[in-house]
Amino acid sequence: MTQLQPRTPDDAVAYHRVMLKISGEALMGDQGYGLHPPTVERIAREVKAVHDMGVEICMVIGGGNIFRGLSGSAQGMERTTADYMGMLATVMNALGMQAALEKLGVFTRVISAIPMDQVCEPYIRRRAVRHLEKKRVCIFAAGTGNPYFTTDTAATLRASEMACEAIFMGKNGVDGVYDKDPKTHPDAKRYDHVTYDEVLTRNLKVMDASAIALARDNKLPIIVFSLDEPGGFRTILRGEGTYTRVEG
């Protein structure tokens, strides 16, 4: 395919370079395991809509739809081995998302923290930044390349390295941060705004503590929104829609 010319960012958008973090479970639809192609394609269309606005996009996708290292460890598997298996699951999800995006005409690069040259690029910061400048969507896979660190931490780390202006946390069935699980508590209160320290002290389920602390140290806002609302990602980039903003 012929490389498209870089687009000029839309002046109406709130951010011009963002990290989109989604869970592996977001890709499995209603089937309970693995990749659900129609769901992957739907999320890819959401990403394309924002990409068409000229926004530079990074992505990190979890691996919980295939294998979760912590769950494997809880069942007796050695933790380091389980975590590496989880990292490989994120590579599979990244390749699936890459295929869906390129089918829509969006140029992408899958960049892995664990070298596997036959299927994706190794992580080199300057090269990744250059991809973003050329308006390629960069999908960072294999976490940080180290066990004991979640994909939440990987997303915050890569967002900081790429000088992203915000992290967008796409959730399933939840349109922000609540004081308790809204799926089981009808009286749950949604926050429009919450601080990093409040997330940590109240144990609000946004990201793990390491990721929140890293975002706080780098003054990186976190936007929590629902992936289920069509056009929600694009709408929030214009400063509208329903979401929770986590910042200092």
Q: What is the pLDDT of residues 65-117, one digit of tens each?
A: 998 766 766 678 899 999 999 999 999 999 999 999 999 999 999 999 999 99
Confidence (pLDDT) at 75: 79
Confidence (pLDDT) at 9: 53
Judge whether residue 27 has pLDDT over 70. yes
Q: Name the pTM for this structure.
A: 0.92
175 with 225: CB under 8 angstroms? yes
Q: What is the largest CA-CA distance in the chain?
A: 53
47 with 26: CB under 8 angstroms? no
Distance of CA 178 to the CA centre of its chain: 20
DSSP β-bridge partners for residue 121:
111
Both tokens assigned to 212: 């929140």
Confidence (pLDDT) at 31: 86
CA neighbor of 245 nearest in space, from 225, 227, 230, 229 = 225
Integer-rounded Cα Rg, in Å, for the chain is 17
- The H-assigned helical ranges of the chain are 37-51, 69-74, 79-103, 125-133, 151-161, 196-201, 209-217, 232-237
DSSP β-bridge partners for residue 183:
none
Pairing state between β 137-141 and 193-195: unpaired
The helix/strand/coil state of 25 is: helix
Confidence (pLDDT) at 11: 60
Q: Which residue has the tokens 């926004």?
A: 55
139 with 106: CB under 8 angstroms? no
Q: How far apart are CA 107 and CA 105, in angstroms?
A: 6
Both tokens assigned to 25: 């479970």
CATH superfamily of 17-247: Acetylglutamate kinase-like (3.40.1160.10)
Q: How far apart are CA 167 and CA 165, in angstroms?
A: 7
Give the pLDDT mean for 205-216. Answer: 94
Confidence (pLDDT) at 5: 43
